Amino acid sequence: MAVPSTGLGHGALAFGRVPGAEVVRIENVSFRYRHHRQRFRSLKEYAIRRIQGQVRVADVWAVRNVDVSVLQGEVFGIVGRNGAGKSTLLRLIAGVLRPKTGRVVVRGWPVSPLLEIGAGFHPDLTGRENVYLNATLLGHAKREVDDRYDSIVEFAELGDVMDEPLRTYSSGMIVRLGFSVATAWDPNVLLVDEALAVGDEAFQKKCWARIQEFRLQLATVILVSHDMSYVLSTCQRVAWLDDGIVRFVGEPKAAVHSYLAATASHNS
């Protein structure tokens, strides 16, 4: 039986990706951070005070009762003010954090997180060494990195400095390297947390072009951004997160309008 065209480009079916299938399911997820109200001079002092019941903590719920699904091939945006819980939600999807309640189900591999500048890098190692370190943390074997190393360096445009310590790199160069490693293996799910806001405009366009290539292969992209123009031009659906609560999920214009209107009301 013939497979109907999706209009989403070549190669998608070869990856075993089904348009519209649920890839990420976030079910009633909540997560809290625990902040100590006192400062301790040593681990010994902390242990003694805890035994004596003198340690006071405050719970801060970063994400509360989030229930969202993301589909195969979507570019799904998350918007909200600083501290709204956006980055925490991405970390929960990546598996860096575990929810206190509920569950996060991610179907398909690999999941490539680009969560913050320099995550998984060591400043005293060279760019070359950091490629292998970061790729290993993402679950790739050395022989896989060997096969992709030249293309990683070519995309990052850092061939002249790959044997220099990472501490000599600018923040933009680190973003180049991080994005190149994270996207070298055609991820099934790519998580992007504002990292593309750093660096020159030409490289930003290059990154977004690669993201569009992933879309043609029905990869799923979940991104956090404060740049509403990127959100409106790139995303199929957007979630507005406010104080850890999803206030709206749906069409990008409606989500961005609701978010901006609430922000303007809050600031007035």
For residue 176, give both structure tokens. 């180049």
Give the per-residue pLDDT at 13. 46
d(CA 180, CA 127): 12
Place of tokens 């309008």: 257
For residue 225, give both structure tokens. 């951004």
- Phi/psi at 222 (5° precision): -115, 120
d(CA 192, CA 222): 6
* Beta strand residue intervals within the chain, DSSP E: 22-36, 57-71, 75-79, 101-106, 111-114, 189-193, 220-224, 237-242, 245-250
Give the per-residue pLDDT at 197. 62
For residue 50, give both structure tokens. 């805890």
For residue 185, give both structure tokens. 């293996």
Give the per-residue pLDDT at 213. 86
Please report, for the chain, the start and end positions of each structural domain, with discontinuous segments joined by +. 20-49+59-267
d(CA 209, CA 223): 15
d(CA 168, CA 64): 40
Question: The domain 20-49+59-267 belongs to what CATH superfamily?
Answer: P-loop containing nucleotide triphosphate hydrolases (3.40.50.300)
- Where b means 16+ CB within 10 Å and e means fewer, 23-42 reads bbebeebbbbeeeeeeeeee
Give the per-residue pLDDT at 224. 93
User: Could you tell me what percentage of the chain is helix, strand and coil, using 3-state DSSP and rounding each to the nearest 5?
Assistant: 40, 25, 35
- Phi/psi at 208 (5° precision): -65, -30
Give the per-residue pLDDT at 9. 40
Residue 217 near residue 186, CB atoms below 8 Å: yes
Q: Where does 106-251 have alpha helices with state H?
A: 127-137, 142-156, 171-182, 201-216, 228-234
Residue of 63, 8, 9, 4 whose CA lies nearest to 31: 63
Residue 219 near residue 186, CB atoms below 8 Å: yes
Helical packing angle, 171-182 and 127-137, nearest 10°: 40
For residue 238, give both structure tokens. 């957007």
Residue 213 near residue 221, CB atoms below 8 Å: no
pTM of the model: 0.78
Residue 98 near residue 33, CB atoms below 8 Å: no
pLDDT, averaged in runs of 10, over the chain (268 residues): 33 62 95 76 74 74 95 94 93 92 88 73 95 89 96 95 96 88 87 72 84 85 90 93 96 96 83
What are the residues facing 126 on neighbouring strands? 165
d(CA 110, CA 81): 29
